[in-house]
Structure 1
Amino acid sequence: MTSAASSHLTGGLSTLVISGRVDADHAVLAPRGELVHGCAETLAKVLADLPAGVTRVDLDMGDVHFMDTAGLQFLEVLRECAGQRALTVTATNWNGQPRRILELAGLDTTDPVSGRTAAPAVPAPPPVPAASAVALERAERLRVLQTEVEQLRRAIASRPVIDQARGVLMATHGCTSDEAWHVLRETSQLSNTKLRDVAAAVTASADGDGPPPPPGLRTALQRALARRRRD
């Protein structure tokens, strides 16, 4: 027996719409559009609205035609949901530019939710004949793609220390996971400090013998926490 669910599980941003169905304990979701800023929040809302009896979630990514570094947060939401609700989660059928980003970032395109990585080599731009406008355009597109891939790699490497810092803020200040993430990001922006360095300072200061964050960073962190309390 199968149970029917809404055929339109939509998020709030026009850049990404997630439709789907639920059959008994199995949800099949079909994101459509772009994995850019806000996509993780859209996905989190859809997952939160799934029935409690769902034990498996399969995403068909075939209609996602573009992604930037926000795609990493999208995958992180899937991983967190799988862990917190003991779900089996897959995200398959990656095509075009999103698949290329995953390949160059070293992620397994058949199962990027697992977090498995390969060791890809990013090819150097091909020689560009001076007279070829097409070749110039391709070289520039490759340069932009390589920059995005490097950002993805740094984000992957930074994730463990950022998760630790989120845990520190949640335990110390009673934040939710999302609130702790926003506090870290705002502290990074206010202090003009890399997010990974902010997270490392917060984590180190939680140790009884650890050094406190530098004064500028400490001030920015206090401002970000104060703003969260007001909100």
Structure 2
Amino acid sequence: MPESAYTTQPATFAASRPGPLSTAALPDGARTVVTVCGELDLHASDELSAALGGALESAAEGIDLDLQGVVFCDCSALNVLLALREQALTQGKTVTIQASSPAAERLLTLTGTLRLFTGAAHDETGEHELGTEVVQLRRAMQTRPTIDLARGVLMATFGLSPQDAWHVLVMVSQNTNTKLHLLAQDLVTAVQGEPLPDATQRQVSAAVSRLSESGVGAPGHEGA
């Protein structure tokens, strides 16, 4: 990559609050590489949004994300990434993910949004393709409220923490080969009186049991 004309040291955008999230941006020619580490949850959303937004504004062509250091990632972080992607599109810029951790990649894969942050997505040109990407971004952002409601259902039903409820949603989604937002809708509908499919019920119970036995998750940890 071309040598940066601005600085040889990473510029830190998210130093306002001590905590598990850290970001560092390094200008690289017309683009900026942003390294993100730590837990990406509801508490980190504003800080993450400010850091990435600042990096995008200062980059002429866009930003490239390195998410290898992300240890936890939920829908609040996805919402930040999707909003950033839409903002970049309106400015004629791009946002790509160069590398990701299993936690970040799992979320993007389950929600069907991974392609929006790959180089292949940016090779497409024309107003039609741009409009299609904007529609996909907005649709993905609209699924978050349902996922949050489903998470609340699991928390209330099984006494789970927000992070544990997220782990259950992810496990059941993978084990039943069901998209995350569709599984969430089933759980919300079940609360309203529509029975949950037997196979899904079994998977939810099994996931909660495995979580309890393994001690995975952090009781009291809040996210979205």
Q: If the TM-score is normalised by the length of the shorter chain, which range does it land in?
A: 0.3 to 0.5
Which TM-score applies when normalising by structure 1? 0.46
Q: Which has the larger radius of gyration?
A: 1
- Whose RCO is larger (CA < 8 A, sep 6+)? 2
Which TM-score applies when normalising by structure 2? 0.47
